[in-house]
A and B are shown apart, each in its own frame.
Chain A
Amino acid sequence: MKVLKLIIKNTWRHKLRTLLTILGIAIAVMAFGMLRTIITAWYAGVEASAANRIITHHRVSIIFQLPLTYREQIQHIPGVAGVSFANWFSGIYKDVNDWRNFFPRIAIENDAYFDLFPEIIISQEDRAAFAKERNGCIVGEKIAREHGFKTGDIIPLEGDIYPGHWEFVVRGFYKGRDATVDETVMFFHWKYLDEQVRQSQPGREVNVGWYVMRIQNPNDIPRISGTIDEMYLNSRASTKTETEKEFQQSFVSMSSAILTSINVISFVIIGIILLVLANTIVMAVRERTREYAVLKTLGFSKNHLIQLIGGESMVIALAGGVLGLVFTFPVAGGFAKAFPTFFPVFNVEPITITMAFGAAVVAGIAAATFPASRILRMKIVDGLRTLE
C-alpha cells in the first residue's frame, strides 16, 4: 500500500484528538466486551449442560416437591442409566447483604450423585470422607478460596426454607473439568436435611426438589421424558421433564428483561463507537478537503482516496479496539474477583473478543463511508477553492 505512510502521518496529525478518540473507542469496546461477557456468563449454565442428562421437577413450579417414591419407578424406565435427586436448601451465611456470602447450597441424595456429573472432579479421599460424615459437605474450589474454607472447617448457616441453625463440616472440595463448570456450589447430604427437619419440625416432610437422570442414548430423551410425565400425569405431584439445557434455560428466561436490556445497551455502545470515530474522521477529512483535491489533481484515483480515508479510520478503530480488548481482560478479571458467586463462570469468550473486534472494524468502515463519498463526489476545482 503506497499511501500507508500518508495514512499513518495523517492519523497522528492531531495527536491529542486521535489519542482521545482511540481512548473513547477503547472504553466503549471494553464496555461492550464486559456486557457481552455478562450475557455469556448468564448463559454459562445453559452452555455447560450435558446432552445426556434430563431433569424432572414439579409441573407447577420447582418450589413444589416430588415424592421420594418416584426414584424407584424412574430408575426402572428402559434407557435410564442413572438417577439421583437434590433439593435447594438456600440458607444464610454470615451477612446476608454481602453478595460474596451467597453461594448455592444443595442437598444431594448421596455421593453417588456425583457419578451423574463427570465434569465435577473430586478426589477419592474427599468423596469417601464426605460419604462417612453425616453433616459433611463438599464445596467448590472457587468458593473455598473466596472464604478460606479448609478441610474440617464448620460452615454455619441460618436456615430460611428449612429454619434453624445448621452446621456443616467441610470434608472435601471439587473442581470443574473446565472453565465452564460452576465451582461455587456447596453439596451436603439430603439425609441430614431430612433427619434435622423431622426432629425440629415434626410432621413436615422433606421430599425431592428435582430428579436428575443420565440417559444411555440421548436419542431416547423424548421417549423417556414423555414416559415419566405420563406416569405422574394424574398424580398429586405431576411432573415436567426436560433436558438439562432446557431446565437451565428456564432460569435464564426469568431474567429475560434484564438480558434484553443488556443486549440493547451493548449494541447502543457500538453506535457510540461509531459516533466518536465518525466525528473525528468527518472533522479530519473536512480540514483536509483541499489536500484531497490536490491529490486528485496529481492523479490519485478514487481507490487511493478510499484507502487514505478508510485507512485512517481503520487505524484509529483498530487501535481503539485492540486497546479496549486489552482493558477488557483485567476489568473482567477484577469483576469476577469482586463478585465470585454472582457470576460463577465469568470468562471473556472468543466470541466476545470476535464481536468486540468486529464492532470496531464495522465502526471503522462505517465512519469513513460518508466523508469518503463526499470527497469522491467533490469536484477538484471546488476542493481547491476550499480554505484551509
Chain B
Amino acid sequence: MKRLFTSELSRRKVVQQAGLGAIGATAAAHGVSSSATAAQEPVRLTWLLDLPESEMIANAFMERNPGIQVDVELVTFREVFQQNQVRLGSGADNPCIVAVDAPLVASYGLRGWLVPLNDHFSDEQRDVWVDALVDSGTYEGQFLAPPIWNSTQLLYYNVALFEAAGVTPPGPDERWTWEQIAAAAKQLTSGDVWGFQFEQPNRIYQLQPLPQGKGAPVIGEDGLSVEGIITSPEWIEAFTWYSNLYNEWGVAPKGEVDVQELFVNQKLAMVVRGPWAIKALSDADLSFEWRAAPHPYWENGDIVVPTDSWHLGVNPNCQHVEEAIRFVQFASSEEAGQLWYDTGVMWPPQEPLLEQIINNPENNDGPGKAYTIAAEESQHAAPRAQTPGYLEYEDILSSAFEDIRNGAVVEETLAAAEQRIQRELQKYRNA
C-alpha cells in the first residue's frame, strides 16, 4: 500500500547522474516498462503554461515532428506556480515541459526539478539569446532552462491628456526621470484622471529599478541574505517616493483596477507597462493618440529596466525526456521566437530578432516606434534576484509594497520584510 502513496521514480537520482547517458537509460527503462503499446501511439508530452498562444507553438512543433504530440495545459499565471509546486514536488511525470519564471530557475534547480541541459545547447545556440537571460537559465554552472520569451518595460502616455493639462510629453527618445514623472503626474491628475501607474504595482519585477537605479543591490551576493539591503537608505528613499505617489501626492490609484481599462478609458495619463501593451492599445480602436518613451530612471542614477519572463525546462520524471528536450530546443529557437513575436503578445529573447525589430522601417515613428524603443531597452536589462528562495522573497516583498501603497510607514514595513525574508532564507543557508 505504501507504494501507492510514494512516487515511483526518484528524480534526484537522475539529476545526480546529470549526463545524457543516465537520462537515456532512464528513458529506455521507461520505454520497456510502459510495454509494447507505446510503439504504436504518438509520444505525448504535457506542457503547462498560462498563454493561449502556446497552442500555436505546439502545433508548429508537431508539424515538424510527426509522432510527438504536445498537450498544452492552460492555467492562470498564478496557478502555474502552484501547480508546479504540487506536481513537481510530488514527483509526478507531468508536466513534462515545465514553465519556469526566470528567477525560479535556482529554486527548481536546487530541488532537482529540472534536467540539466548543458549538453543539448551549444555555445552558438546560447549566444543567440540576450546574455542576461542565459544567466537566468543557469544555476550552479548547470544550464537548466532556456528562455522562450523576454520582457521589458516602457512608459506609455495619453497625448490628449498631456495637451489638456498643458504638459509637454517626453520625446520618443527622451528618457524621463522619476522626478519628472512625479512632477508631470501632479499636473495631470485631476477629477477622475490619474497621473501615473505601474502595470504591476506591487511586484518586485516591476519595482526593482527604483532601488537599483540608485545603485543599491536587491539581494546579497550569495543570494541567501538580504541583511542591510532592504533597509538601506537607497531602498527607503526609493520606496518613500513610491509611497508618495499613492499617499502624499495621490497621483496614482490604489487597488487593482486594470491599467489597460484605465488607460483606454482615458482615466490614466501615464503607465509603465510591457511591450504586450503595444498590440493591446493598437487593437483597441482608441479615440485618442498614445505614444511610448523609454523606461524612466533617477536623476544622476543608473538606467535599469525590468527584464525576463518564462523559461522552459524538462521534468526529470517525464516519460519521454529526449522528446521533451527536443521540444524545448524548438520553443526557444529563433524560428519559434519569430512565431511568438508575430502573435504580438510575446517579446522575443533572441538578439537577431530584436535587431530586426529595430531595423524595421515601420517601427521608425508613430505608435510602431514603441517596438524599437522596447527592443533598445534590452541593453539596460537587469535580471531579478538570483536566489533559491525567490518565491518567499517575492511574496514577502509584494505584501510589503502593497502595505506601503496603502499608507504603511516605509521604514518599518521594509524592516519587517527584511527580517521575514532573512528568516525564510535561513533554510537555504543550512541546506
Question: Is the pairing of A and B real?
Answer: no
Taking Cβ atoms with an 8 Å cutoff, the residues of B that contact A are none
